[in-house]
Chain A
Amino acid sequence: MRIMFVYWAFEDQGSGLLINGYTRAAQALGHEVVVYGRPVPNIPLNYSMDVDSADALVYIFEWTTDLLNGDNLDFARLSKISRRRTVVIDGDGNYNDLISADGDYNHRDEQARDRWVAICDGLSDKICQPSPHPRCDNVLTFLFYCYDPASELPLDVDNKDYGLLYVGNSKFRWSAMSQVLAAIAPVRRRLGRVGIVGHGWDKLPAWAEPMRMQAAYHTDPALLRRLDVDLLPPVRFNDVVCTMNRALLSPVLTRPTFNQLKFVTPRYFETPAAGSIPLFLIDAGHLQEIYGPAALELALPPENAADKIQDVLDRPEHYVTVTENIRRHLSRCHSHEMRLRELVRIIER
């Protein structure tokens, strides 16, 4: 089956790495995954404009339903694929009623929500969300984001550049990052270098103001300076895993609404592949459901969080074993191949 993804890809954020994983998995399984559009030099994906050759269309809607470098003529062309063979993946939980949590929200207002839902419904009857527990009855579970054992780096915890490094943008993540910072403060000196890679940690990203998203990128640069946190520029999606690999600890943060909706994200699966120990700030039930029970040991507790960091520093080998267990679980339950087979089933429903 030739599956065409329709996706607004970025060089340094989003699901580019994941999509390339799907492309490889598809080749291994005798399918093909392409991304609708003309090649974008700095975003290396398997592009195609040949709608006629596609057997199915998968819209990946995260922050927008618009097309990258596309317009209504593209939507007209894409309409050649019947809605029966079209799937929408609602990656940010926008196909829901209005929800908000800790300053995070899925829509500004009902009008935006209605439009989003109408667009998804207009394209397909198969709306999927990357959550084991979608809220809407008509939404299917399809976790979409997945684990790629081929990208695993050795879990060698010695000689790391950083004690802790987070790779990701600040969008709605300051509250989770504050918990990480509070946890490391008591052990700050022992931890060594601490860094954050991504947009919006020291200043607003360029798009925040025109998109009226200043609040989403709220941070406390003074606190980051006080804790001597290195603020590093974003990296290309192909370099995410090896960047995380530079640290002993890599926090897995999520947006408050994603936590509420029990969503998974690309970083959920990329982080354990880095040769780094993941540190989870995720709802405990959700954590166990995705990563298996072993992962609970790597949850940053709300109380005495510094003790957990201290323990990792004291017993890194133990947590390497925990991480290996997590990797095995993810390889078994959340591989690209499994996801792709599931996607094909959804398409053929």
Chain B
Amino acid sequence: MNILFVSKVSASARSVFAISKYIEVGRARGHQVAVFGEQTSEPPLFPYTLDAKAFDFAIFVVYEPWDFPDMPYLAQLLDNVPKERRVIVDCCGRYNDTVRVEHDFNHLEKMDRHQGWEWVEGFDAVSNTILQPSFKPLRGNVRSFLWHAFDPASVAKPYGSAQEAVHAWGNGHGTGKRYGMTYLGHNWQRWTQLRPLLEGLEPLSSELGPIALAGADWEKRPEWAAQLGIEGVDVDPGLLARLGVETRPPLPFQEMIGFLSDGKLSPVVHRPLFNSLGLMTNRAFATFSADTIPLLMIPEELIESVYGPAARLLRVGPDFTEDVARILRDPMPYWSAVLDTRRHLAEHHTFQHRLQQLEQILEGAA
């Protein structure tokens, strides 16, 4: 099977990690897999092609309008791959009526000028097969396909036991780590959740150690957000300064697991919209590959259905101070939960599993 991924690839955002893994796993399964576009020497070094005719299926991975290719490539692609052989992975729940949760939306007309129905029409124009990385898509004609997955080969330190993990983590107290907590992700619709977490960690700062946030717009609310009246990029520089939080620019995806592994703890936080729609993200899986204890801040039902029962222990909040203090005092059960969860993910949620599901969907679609 020849599979062509169509998306605007960025080294530090969206689905770059997943696409890299689908290429790798697809090839291992004997498929020809490439990304639609002109070959570039810029990283990430994916196999690109404009020869859409040579592919059986085009998988559009859509977050933003620009994930549809620029002209003339979009027209050429639509001409050369019949509609029944095109699939859209709707990573942000665009293919829904407009949903607002707090100040998060699936359609933000202020930013991209598109109303909700335009997204729905646009998707309908391109494909009859719409997938969302959620167990429970809202629309009847959308299929569940989690898209993101766990890569056991990416696990930074594949410990054999919780004792070994705790020991390596820092002689039982995480003191071997550069940071107490690391978070990698852009400041987009995360602050309402990260703020109480950071405030909860303040009493533990000496025990925990420094905190680092990597991604766009953590230093301050950007000008464009103020101009457009967008609240989803809020941040409190005073709080970050008081806590000594180190902010860093976005990192390329190859550095993701290494950076997360620099922290004793790393939160898994989803946008309010994603929590509401049950949408999964890359970080929800990749954090389990890092040498860190994930702090799960996503809905409880999603935790159990994706990660398995052991992961319930890793859920934190609303009393973050107490929850994190407990982990720092006695990390053993938490590391045990991490290792159990890794096993669960390796059994049920690898990119190999996903690709098999995708193959079935594609065969059904065609």
**Contact partners of A70 in chain B: CB under 8 A:** 113
**Contact partners of B74 in chain A: CB under 8 A:** 72, 75-76, 79, 122
Q: Chain A: which residue is nearest B66 at the CB level?
A: A72
**B65→A72 contact, CB < 8 A:** yes
**A119→B72 contact, CB < 8 A:** yes
Q: Chain B: which residue is nearest A81 at the CB level?
A: B125
A119 to B75 Cα, complex, angstroms: 8
Our pick among B75, B76, B122 for the contact of A77 (Cβ within 8 Å) is B122
Our pick among B70, B79, B113 for the contact of A72 (Cβ within 8 Å) is B70
Q: Does A159 contact B (CB under 8 A)?
A: no
Q: Chain B: which residue is nearest A117 at the CB level?
A: B72
**Contact partners of A49 in chain B: CB under 8 A:** 118
**A71→B112 contact, CB < 8 A:** yes
Known: A71-B66, A72-B65. A77 touches B121 (CB 8 A): yes
A118 to B79 Cα, complex, angstroms: 13
A94 to B271 Cα, complex, angstroms: 45
**B71→A75 contact, CB < 8 A:** yes
**A73→B114 contact, CB < 8 A:** yes
**B72→A73 contact, CB < 8 A:** no
**B72→A115 contact, CB < 8 A:** yes
A117 to B71 Cα, complex, angstroms: 11
A115 to B65 Cα, complex, angstroms: 21
**Contact partners of B112 in chain A: CB under 8 A:** 71, 73
Q: Chain A: which residue is nearest B8 at the CB level?
A: A72
Q: Does B183 contact A (CB under 8 A)?
A: no
A112 to B121 Cα, complex, angstroms: 31
**B125→A79 contact, CB < 8 A:** yes
Q: Does B317 contact A (CB under 8 A)?
A: no
Q: Does A175 contact B (CB under 8 A)?
A: no
Q: Does A69 contact B (CB under 8 A)?
A: yes
**Contact partners of A83 in chain B: CB under 8 A:** 79
Q: Does A189 contact B (CB under 8 A)?
A: no
**B71→A122 contact, CB < 8 A:** yes
Per the CB 8 Å criterion, the residue count for chain B at the interface is 24
The 0/1 profile, CB within 8 Å of A marked 1, for residues 31-71 of chain B is: 00000000000000000000000000000000001111111
**B125→A77 contact, CB < 8 A:** yes
Known: A71-B112, A72-B70, A75-B71. A118 touches B76 (CB 8 A): yes
Interface of B: prevailing SS: helix
**A73→B75 contact, CB < 8 A:** no
**Contact partners of A121 in chain B: CB under 8 A:** 72
Per the CB 8 Å criterion, the residue count for chain A at the interface is 23
**A80→B125 contact, CB < 8 A:** yes
**Contact partners of A71 in chain B: CB under 8 A:** 65-66, 112-113
Known: A75-B75, A79-B78. A51 touches B121 (CB 8 A): yes
Most B CB contacts (10 A, CB to CB) among A76, A78, A118 go to A76
Minimum C-beta distance from A40 to chain B (A): 12
**B70→A73 contact, CB < 8 A:** no
Q: Does B119 contact A (CB under 8 A)?
A: yes
A72 to B126 Cα, complex, angstroms: 12
Q: Chain B: which residue is nearest A50 at the CB level?
A: B121
Minimum C-beta distance from B129 to chain A (A): 15
A98 to B316 Cα, complex, angstroms: 64
**A77→B71 contact, CB < 8 A:** no
Minimum C-beta distance from B48 to chain A (A): 17
Known: A71-B66, A71-B112, A72-B66. A77 touches B118 (CB 8 A): yes
**A73→B118 contact, CB < 8 A:** yes
Q: Does A65 contact B (CB under 8 A)?
A: yes
The 0/1 profile, CB within 8 Å of A marked 1, for residues 63-99 of chain B is: 0011111111111101100000000000000000000
The 0/1 profile, CB within 8 Å of B marked 1, for residues 108-122 of chain A is: 000000010011011
Q: Does A123 contact B (CB under 8 A)?
A: yes
**B121→A72 contact, CB < 8 A:** no
Minimum C-beta distance from A257 to chain B (A): 23
The 0/1 profile, CB within 8 Å of A marked 1, for residues 90-131 of chain B is: 000000000000000000000011100011011101100000
**B65→A73 contact, CB < 8 A:** yes
Could you list 13 further interchain pairs (A-B, Cβ under 8 angstroms) beyond the known A69-B113, A76-B122? A71-B113, A72-B66, A73-B68, A73-B114, A76-B74, A76-B123, A76-B125, A77-B122, A79-B74, A115-B72, A118-B76, A122-B71, A123-B72
Smallest CB-CB A-B distances: 9 pairs: A122-B75, A122-B72, A72-B68, A73-B65, A118-B72, A119-B72, A76-B122, A71-B65, A80-B125
Can you identify 28 A-B contacts, CB atoms within 8 angstroms? A51-B125, A65-B71, A69-B113, A71-B113, A72-B66, A72-B69, A72-B74, A73-B114, A74-B122, A75-B74, A76-B68, A76-B122, A76-B123, A77-B118, A77-B125, A78-B125, A79-B78, A79-B125, A79-B126, A80-B121, A118-B72, A119-B72, A122-B73, A122-B75, A122-B79, A123-B71, A123-B72, A123-B75
